[in-house]
Every structure is written in C-alpha cells, then in structure tokens.
Amino acid sequence: MKSLVAMHGGSVSAYSEGLGRGAEFVVRLPLVANDKIAAPVEPKETKIKPMKILVVEDNHDSREMLCHLLKLDGHQIQSAPDGLQGLSLLESDHFDVALVDVGLPGLDGFEVARRTRRKRIDGHPLLVALTGYGREEDRRAVIEAGFDVHVVKPFKLAELHSALAKAEANV
C-alpha cells in the first residue's frame, strides 16, 4: 500500500503505543484542485475484427480480467497459467495473437517466444510481451526473443487495442 500511495504523491505513517495497544495508520494524499481534474475521456470505439487470442499469464486475477475484456470485444479466447501450457496450446492450435507474460514460472515468456518462432516461421501468431519492465534493454530483450510487440503492465486498454490492430492487419 505504501508504494501505491507514494505513486500518488502521498505518504503512510504508522503509530502504536506498544504490544496489545492497537495501531493507527495514517494515509496522506495531496488535495487536487477541482480545476485540475480532467474530465473523463470516453473510450474510442474499437473496430478490430474478432480474433483467436491466447492469454498466457500466471496471475489468476490478471488472466481472468484480460480474458473477460477481450471476450467483450468479441474475441475467441483461450488461456494458460504458465509457459509450458501456453507453448503446448500454441503448438496444437492456430492463434492470431498470443499475449504472453514474460515472468512466467517454469518456462518463461522469453522461451515461449523463442520456441514459437523456431517452429512457426510464418510470423504467426503475433506475439505480444506483457511485462512490468519498460527500460530500453527490456524492449530489446523482448524483440530478440521473438516478440512482435512490447506492452508494459499496467497497460491502458488503448495500448492493447493498438497491439491487436497490428495482428488484424496480418489476419
């Protein structure tokens, strides 16, 4: 919680008079003047054709939310909780897009991309790396492994739609 509050320019303090005496936690967030609050932006309508998409993500909640969002856009979705299962699905079925977390247990996303590219020289599916790392060297490593697109988590829905639009052009 402390890092989340700090991201918003705030602070967290904790106070206690000792064991068994309870604790008080104080969260301070800066006040934003009303004139600085931006009006909500209406999401742009996406015109992406439904595609067959594989989501490989070890975090259950993230995987389920991403699958749900993609289904709302009309896509056909399959998912896997780790690299080995993701690679197995990629080898046994045809997908237009694979959204792959790079930090997977066992077989990481980099190796999933390498193995997929060795077996599928036709450039399909479009491989999208989902990662919490966005430095230039991270982007290079993603591309060197065989990914087509690098998306940093947490990502905006528009970034995901942009990645899917690249796949649509090749479908």
Note the pLDDT of residue 61.
Answer: 93
- 82 and 30 in one domain? no
Number of domains in the chain: 2
Note the pLDDT of residue 67.
Answer: 96
Could you tell me if residue 145 is inside a domain?
A: yes
44, 86, 110 from 53: Cα distances, Å: 21, 11, 18
- 136 and 102 in one domain? yes
- 69 and 134 in one domain? yes
Residues of the chain with pLDDT under 50: none
Q: Where in the sequence is the domain holding 13, given as residue range(s)?
A: 2-34
- Look at the pTM and tell me if it is higher than 0.75: no
Could you tell me if residue 9 is inside a domain?
A: yes
Note the pLDDT of residue 121.
Answer: 65
Note the pLDDT of residue 46.
Answer: 53
The residue whose two tokens read 């934003």 is 32
Note the pLDDT of residue 60.
Answer: 95
Q: Is the dihedral of CA 97, 60, 105, 140 positive or negative?
A: positive
